[in-house]
Chain A
Amino acid sequence: MKKSVFLGVVAATAMTAGFASAATLDDVKARGELLCGSNTGLTGFGAPDANGNWVGFDVSLCRAVAAAVLGDPAKVKFVPTTGETRFTALASGEVDLLVRNSTWTFSRDTDLKFDFVAVNYYDGQGFMVKKDLGVSSAKELDGATVCIQTGTTTELNLADFFKFNNIKYTPVTVQDDSEAQRQYLAGACDAYTTDASGLAASRATMADPENHIILPEIISKEPLGPVVRHGDNNWGDIVRWTYYALLIAEEKGITKANIEEVASSTTDPEVRRLLGLEGDAGVMMGLDNNWAKNAIAANGNYGEIFEANIGTSTPIGLARGLNALWTQGGLQYAPPLR
């Protein structure tokens, strides 16, 4: 008798322990903190500053989500992940959300069972070489040694590019950006290849950025975006629409500075819906109705985040290019909020 009770208890624990909770939103609320998978440190995208606060383009999106869900952009714990560990961290529930220069690909979407909910940076893979190498095109790299981060799409693109162009290379596989930089600067590789944005960010932290050039060839499409686990659609919606809220804010000219003023005076119906003055957009996702207002107030709209972290006025100096709003000839386009 006793034994069967005991067995029953064991069986019951097995059942409950077996389920990874599907409702990420409830977990985050209960924890009072968002766990966001970030870089191990890529200036401009995600890295701790001198005071240990995480800052960057990707980091700001995490903060916006934290603001939308918990009302406070500071309630985020950043979990550094490498190219290799990031997806395991997300799949195992170590992080709620991964915003880490991650490319949306078919196999990650289907086979790895993730959802890329948006594209926050349209990118492509490039090559960086030292100026004195005398190379002006990636096709001249026949026989070169190339540093490449493992666990990335860029590893596969690199192999394809050299094979397609019928030239040879020696790969040096490294774990993260800082190791790649060390090897590249020490001359252990002739070229460093990764997303062009990553190259620009990497170059900006070097002592002599002017001595390094990014070659003109962009050899792939790298749509980078926030990733969540398959199967929790509400959580995916929250992240997606938080991102779109930042885009709509830019489109409508709502900034961190003027948001209160706009909220008190606007008559634009979409802006009113966005800022929670009308309708129940937030409640429909299980959030407060001022979710979007909090998200925008955290670090400003998409354009502000871009300019502050990686824009032309920063050492990284990336132009908006493909990432301009659709109204300005770019690809960033939010569906209507209604």
Chain B
Amino acid sequence: MAMASEAPKDGFRLSMLIYDTRFRSFTIQVIVLLLVLMGIAWLVDNTVQNLAAKDKDINFGFLWNRAGYDIEQQLIPYTNDSTHGRAAIIGLLNTLVVAFWGCIFATVLGVFAGVLRLSKNWLVARLMTVYVEAFRNVPLLLWIIVVFVVTSETAPQPKDFKVTAEMVQTGAEPPAQKILFGTVAITNRGWNIPAPLVERPLGVVNVGSVPVNLTLLAVIAAIVGSVLVNRAILRRARRIQEETGDRPTTWWQSLLVLFAPTILLLLALGFHIEVPAFPTDETGVSKGFNFQGGILVMHSFSALLIALSLYTGAFIAEAVRGGVLAISRGQTEAAYALGLRPGRTMKLIILPQALRVIIPPLISQYLNLTKNTSLGIAVSYLDLRGTLGGITLNQTGRELECMLLMMLIYLTISLIISSLMNVFNSAVKLKER
């Protein structure tokens, strides 16, 4: 009897770390932490020793050395005299541009496919099922290669667009023709599309080592300004409507505000379109190997973008379908009872509510898409993996540094995307008041 009241008072015994539930969880945590730390220490130690055995060190100095290789697709100026660091930035921008457009296309595609898969039209619903299943169940890498091979092998070679001396004499046409009123040429190398050009550019200023194109900036400013003014006009119209019941006509004001400033600016800059074409000599015979002028979008880029969008779109479609199904039938019925047509019911009632369910899986699809851009290596798309993790790694032999840097960059991009999406999510999620 006396024992029972004595027990808790007596001092701490080592065995209590295991047998006493108050301490046990603490013990376990400490041991796990120790093991994890030891694991990390072992990895680091192993790395350091192996590097030492190979007479190597960890040094990021190579990023400031001359790269020496060329990159075909560059969003900011780069030559083979630029540094490895700049090559990595070129690669990063190439990654980001695919990821950006990929997310947009995949979302549009996914929303359409997801909604249409629920359509009452048997054929449409089945077609969407086929699309979703085909893309979800075949590895992305295969899709990238398939799209690349199909787009590049079915298109004619650039030389098929050339006018030869013989054709000039006989008046025959070259075997391949440009499409869309002679502005776009699809060859087996890529898409030659017209380039927007201005005759009187505003010039370029360098912020740090990043050139900023003032012309582009001015056009963007004009567009953003017009949109803002237009919003103000619409707000005013709504206010008047709410106060008086009459909505003033705004369409001509909107049109004027939206388009006039930009058009005037472009006219002032001497805007025109440069159509890709083969240079010709006096007699009209084409010279050279490739189209000159315009923009060349390589098939590696377009194939990667198309495959990523289609693939991720299929997953987004499923997320959208799940989101829509999560909204109770009663909502639809109520909307119908109010006389809303199915299209408007979807747009005004169902989708806004479904968004709350859709956004979390959407975030992970965006992250997947962004990371999957690194599969561009299969079609020789020089993204971050191709430059920093490919050619630079190889030419400098700095495997560890390049891989660490690459992981860090992908991690940062992913974290930025998920935090942006989380902000968006909290903006649309159900407000509990």
Residues of A within 8 A of B (CB): 7, 10, 13-15, 17-20, 22, 83-84, 87-88, 91, 107-108, 111-113, 133, 141-145, 150-151, 155-156, 158-160, 163, 169-175, 186-190, 229-231
CA distance A258 to B42 in the complex (A): 56
| Chain B residue with Cβ nearest A151 | B394
Complex contact B290–A174 (CB within 8 A): no
Complex contact B70–A171 (CB within 8 A): yes
CA distance A107 to B55 in the complex (A): 14
| Chain A residue with Cβ nearest B43 | A14
| Chain A residue with Cβ nearest B299 | A188
Chain A residues with Cβ below 8 Å from B80 are 156, 159-160, 163
Complex contact A187–B290 (CB within 8 A): no
B119 at the interface (CB under 8 A from A): no
Known interface pairs A170-B72, A171-B70, A186-B153; A155-B391 also in contact (CB < 8 Å): yes
Q: Mark B153-192, 1 if CB is under 8 A from A, else 0.
A: 1000111000000000000000000000000000011000
Chain B residues with Cβ below 8 Å from A15 are 49
Known interface pairs A151-B390, A156-B395; A14-B152 also in contact (CB < 8 Å): no
Residues of B within 8 A of A (CB): 38, 41-42, 45-46, 48-50, 53-56, 68-72, 79-80, 152-153, 157-159, 188-189, 288-290, 292, 296, 377, 380, 382, 386, 390-391, 394-397, 399
7 closest A-B pairs by CB: A18-B49, A112-B397, A187-B157, A159-B80, A151-B394, A144-B289, A156-B68
Identify which of B49, B70, B72, B153 gathers the most chain A CB atoms within 10 Å of its CB: B70
Complex contact A14–B380 (CB within 8 A): no
Complex contact B188–A145 (CB within 8 A): no
Instruction: Say how far B365's CB is from chain A's closest CB, in angstroms.
Output: 29
| Chain A residue with Cβ nearest B71 | A171
Complex contact B159–A187 (CB within 8 A): yes
Instruction: Say how far B41's CB is from chain A's closest CB, in angstroms.
Output: 8
Chain A residues with Cβ below 8 Å from B71 are 171
Query: What is the number of contacts between chain A and chain B, taking CB atoms within 8 Å?
Result: 120
Complex contact A113–B56 (CB within 8 A): yes
Chain A residues with Cβ below 8 Å from B380 are 150, 172-175
CA distance A142 to B287 in the complex (A): 11
| Chain A residue with Cβ nearest B81 | A163
| Chain B residue with Cβ nearest A105 | B395
Known interface pairs A145-B189, A159-B68, A187-B159; A231-B53 also in contact (CB < 8 Å): yes
Complex contact B397–A145 (CB within 8 A): no
Secondary structure class of chain A's binding surface, majority of residues: mixed
25 CB contacts below 8 A, A to B, read A14-B41, A14-B45, A14-B46, A18-B45, A18-B49, A19-B49, A20-B54, A84-B394, A107-B397, A108-B397, A113-B397, A133-B289, A142-B288, A144-B289, A150-B380, A151-B395, A155-B395, A156-B69, A173-B380, A173-B386, A187-B159, A188-B152, A188-B188, A188-B189, A231-B55
Excluding A7-B38, A171-B72, 10 further A-B contacts by CB distance (< 8 Å) are A20-B53, A108-B397, A133-B289, A143-B288, A159-B70, A172-B380, A175-B377, A186-B188, A188-B188, A230-B54
| Chain A residue with Cβ nearest B157 | A187
Complex contact A187–B70 (CB within 8 A): no
| Chain A residue with Cβ nearest B396 | A111
CA distance A133 to B159 in the complex (A): 9
Identify which of A15, A173, A230 gathers the most chain B CB atoms within 10 Å of its CB: A173
Complex contact B290–A170 (CB within 8 A): yes
CA distance A155 to B158 in the complex (A): 24
| Chain B residue with Cβ nearest A10 | B38
Which of B46, B68, B152 contacts A18, CB < 8 Å?
Answer: B46
CA distance A48 to B105 in the complex (A): 44
CA distance A84 to B291 in the complex (A): 31
Instruction: Say how far A3's CB is from chain B's closest CB, in angstroms.
Output: 9
Chain A residues with Cβ below 8 Å from B42 are 10, 13-14, 17
| Chain A residue with Cβ nearest B42 | A14
Instruction: Say how far B203's CB is from chain A's closest CB, in angstroms.
Output: 24
| Chain B residue with Cβ nearest A92 | B399
Known interface pairs A156-B69, A170-B72, A186-B152; A87-B397 also in contact (CB < 8 Å): yes
| Chain A residue with Cβ nearest B300 | A172
Instruction: Say how far B67's CB is from chain A's closest CB, in angstroms.
Output: 9
Chain B residues with Cβ below 8 Å from A158 are 70
Chain B residues with Cβ below 8 Å from A159 are 68-70, 80
Chain B residues with Cβ below 8 Å from A190 are 289
Chain B residues with Cβ below 8 Å from A84 are 390, 394
Chain B residues with Cβ below 8 Å from A171 are 69-72
Identify which of A19, A145, A169 gathers the most chain B CB atoms within 10 Å of its CB: A145
Instruction: Say how far B266's CB is from chain A's closest CB, in angstroms.
Output: 29
